[in-house]
Structure 1
Amino acid sequence: MSVALPAEPLPAASAAGRLCFASLGSGSKGNGTLVSDGETCVLVDCGFGLREAERRLARLGVHPRQLDAMLVTHEHGDHLRGVGPLARRHGVPVHLTPGTWFSGRLGEVPGLHWITPQSRFAIKSLVIDPVTVPHDAREPVQFRFETRGCSLGVLTDLGHPSDHVAEAFSGCDALILECNHDPHLLRTGPYPPKLKRRVGGNWGHLANGQAAELLARLGLDRLQRIVCSHLSEHNNRAELALEALTPLLDGDASRLIVAAQDHGLHWQAIS
């Protein structure tokens, strides 16, 4: 499939110097998050097949060759599926931990860069902190981005809100936060018992209430946008995720938004 190069270089940076982000889609069928400050644009994970990833990028006004890098959180298919094909076709460098690489699920890529958890690095104008998280993968990380005094946390796929995670993501201006499941829906839902134990365990995924607990610990004063992400198709509903987080905002849900599986989330700018 041929994807035309967008007329505008990066629509996320229409206001020069502002940190912006968008979602290709979020959920068990595929994940991908764009982060841009106008000078630098990176894609966190790509859990969609090549053609679908190209289509979703085009919908957000980005051609794969405009990506400065792809950052991989871990090796599960809903985060890794399209990384290798996209990198090979368009020559996009890939940053990931050695543990993720040695899972053997990526294949050869043209530009490979190691991530060391808890060791800050930069891609052009973006400063990136990779943070170890409790999840059932080989060497999983999530990311905090900073540029020009603004910060964005991308925090999905963790089993419980650990002290380490709370400290690393405090004081963000925007946060993409996992709200994977409602415990009752998970318990009574269609998953087999082993998978239910995995999802609801300390190395699985955050329940709505755990996301609310973590958000309260992070502090809300600076947060301009809170994105509920990675909602389970079978074990959660958007209204339940919003219901869990809204009380922390004194009933004002204007800062809350949901990243959908099918349509993702259009560009959001941080002041």
Structure 2
Amino acid sequence: MRIASLGSGSQGNATLLEWRGGALLIDCGFSVKEALARLERLGYSAGELSAVLVTHEHSDHIKGVAALARRFTLPVYMTPGTYHSRNHGMLPHLQLIEGYQPFAIGDLKVEPVAVPHDAREPAQFVFEADGLRVGVLTDLGSISPHVEQSYQGCDALVLEANHDPRMLAGGPYPPSLKQRVGGPWGHLSNQQAAGFLKRLDTARLQHLVIAHISQKNNTLELAREAIEPVSAEVANVIYACQNEGFGWLDVSVLGVESALA
């Protein structure tokens, strides 16, 4: 398996997951033109995708999904709440994720995870194929016991560290938005992400990607200051950015053996 990102932040999000049997785009918060350019930068084309998977209906995650699906006749997976939250127009092959039940796309197992976020029926995901486990966890305001249990034992993890509480409190957002972002249904702070990592079984973790870092309410230095003390045993820790996301990361069985050695 391998993963990459087209971009990560409040201006647009999309994560690319490839396994031996296909490829999946998780969200598309960019216009079709921009998404295609970003895919090309990663050496990929939309015609190679097996499907698009949607986490929730906020525009920085769903903006280009319907248009991309129509143009390339791609199946789209989302929860009923996400589907009914807005008018998507015609979706050629809509697949509803009912009750957060696991499902398969070819030989990729997809485990939807319910998360506390201010959307209709948001989901984050854990993927399994070829004995490997990759988690994507962004856009949630708090770590529930269910979330903590669901992401144990990953070989790669994309994790949100959205804001620094002090920067958010003193930043340019209006009070209502500050309350939303920093609340239990908003986004994870650097400290919440670090606390989660401290409680997580990271013995197999080959790659940790810190993602969805706010450009107005956080800095790379502050995120690193919180994350580095709890990620010393992870072989590769990188920080995704809005403009370039992150490049391809290979997740392999050999990496698992090395991590456990």
TM range (shorter): over 0.9
2:249 corresponding residue in structure 1: 268
2:259 corresponding residue in structure 1: none
Counterparts of 1:34 and 1:117 in 2: how far apart (Å)? Answer: 24
Q: How does 1:224-263 map to 2 (within 5 A)?
A: 224-250=206-232, 254-263=235-244
TM-score, structure 1 normalization? 0.91
3-state SS in 1 of match to 2:74: coil
Counterparts of 1:243 and 1:107 in 2: how far apart (Å)? Answer: 44
CA contact (8 A) 1:84 1:109 kept: yes
Deviation at 1:31, TM superposition (A): 0.1
1:41 corresponding residue in structure 2: 23
Counterparts of 1:254 and 1:147 in 2: how far apart (Å)? Answer: 21
CA contact (8 A) 1:246 1:253 kept: no
2:88 corresponding residue in structure 1: 106
Q: How does 1:1-271 map to 2 (within 5 A)?
A: 19-250=1-232, 254-271=235-252
Deviation at 1:221, TM superposition (A): 1.1
For 1:23, give the aligned amino acid: S
For 1:36, give the aligned amino acid: E
Decide whether aligned partners of structure 1 residues 206 and 133 sit closer, same or farther in structure 2, where only a CA change above 3 A counts: same
Counterparts of 1:126 and 1:182 in 2: how far apart (Å)? Answer: 35
Q: Deviations over 1:10-69 (max 9, x none)?
A: xxxxxxxxx100000000000000001132100000000110011101111111111100
Deviation at 1:111, TM superposition (A): 0.6
Moved more, 117-126 or 128-137: 117-126
For 1:154, give the aligned amino acid: V
For 1:45, give the aligned amino acid: D
For 2:195, give the aligned amino acid: E
Tell me the number of residue pairs that the alignment of Structure 1 and Structure 2 aligns.
Answer: 252
TM-score, structure 2 normalization? 0.94
Decide whether aligned partners of structure 1 residues 149 and 89 sit closer, same or farther in structure 2, where only a CA change above 3 A counts: same
Counterparts of 2:197 and 2:231 in 1: how far apart (Å)? Answer: 10
For 2:248, give the aligned amino acid: W
Counterparts of 1:58 and 1:212 in 2: how far apart (Å)? Answer: 33
Counterparts of 2:250 and 2:59 in 1: how far apart (Å)? Answer: 29
Counterparts of 1:128 and 1:198 in 2: how far apart (Å)? Answer: 29
Over the aligned positions, Cα root-mean-square deviation in angstroms equals 1.1
Task: Flag as ranges the 4+ runs of structure 1 deviating above 3 A.
Answer: none
CA contact (8 A) 2:231 2:237 kept: no
For 1:60, give the aligned amino acid: L
Counterparts of 1:31 and 1:141 in 2: how far apart (Å)? Answer: 15
Deviation at 1:253, TM superposition (A): 7.1
Q: Which ranges of structure 2 fall in alignment gaps of 5 or more residues?
A: 253-261
CA contact (8 A) 1:80 1:106 kept: no
Counterparts of 2:24 and 2:67 in 1: how far apart (Å)? Answer: 16
CA contact (8 A) 2:205 2:235 kept: no
CA contact (8 A) 2:207 2:234 kept: no
3-state SS in 2 of match to 1:55: helix
